Every structure is written in structure tokens, then in C-alpha cells.
Amino acid sequence: MDGLLIFEAREQGAMRIHSLRFGLVLSCSLI
């Protein structure tokens, strides 16, 4: 059960980092 929670948290963290990086690339290309 704990392993599933850790996996889910890791997935959410990866998604957040990915979206942040995507936003950074977008803002850089706009400038």
C-alpha cells in the first residue's frame, strides 16, 4: 500500500516538473 502511494507521489512530482519545464520553454520561445 505504501509503495503505491510513493509511486503516485513520484508520478505527480514528475508531472509537475514536466509542466514547469514546458512552461519555461514556452515563455522562452515567446520572448
Residue 1, helix vs strand vs coil? coil
Alpha carbon separation from 1 to 11, 12, 27 (Å, rounded): 16, 17, 39
Q: Which pLDDT belongs to residue 20?
A: 94
Q: Which pLDDT belongs to residue 30?
A: 83
Grade residue 1 by pLDDT with cuts at 50, 70 and 90. Answer: low
Q: How far apart are CA 8 and CA 31, in angstroms?
A: 35
Query: What pTM value is reported for the model?
Result: 0.55
**Mean pLDDT, range 11-30, rounded to an integer:** 92
CA 29 vs. chain centroid, Å, equals: 20
Q: How far apart are CA 21 and CA 27, in angstroms?
A: 10
Annotated domain spans of the chain? 1-31
For CA atoms 15, 19, 21, 25, give the dihedral sign.
Answer: positive
| Percent of the chain predicted with pLDDT > 90 | 65
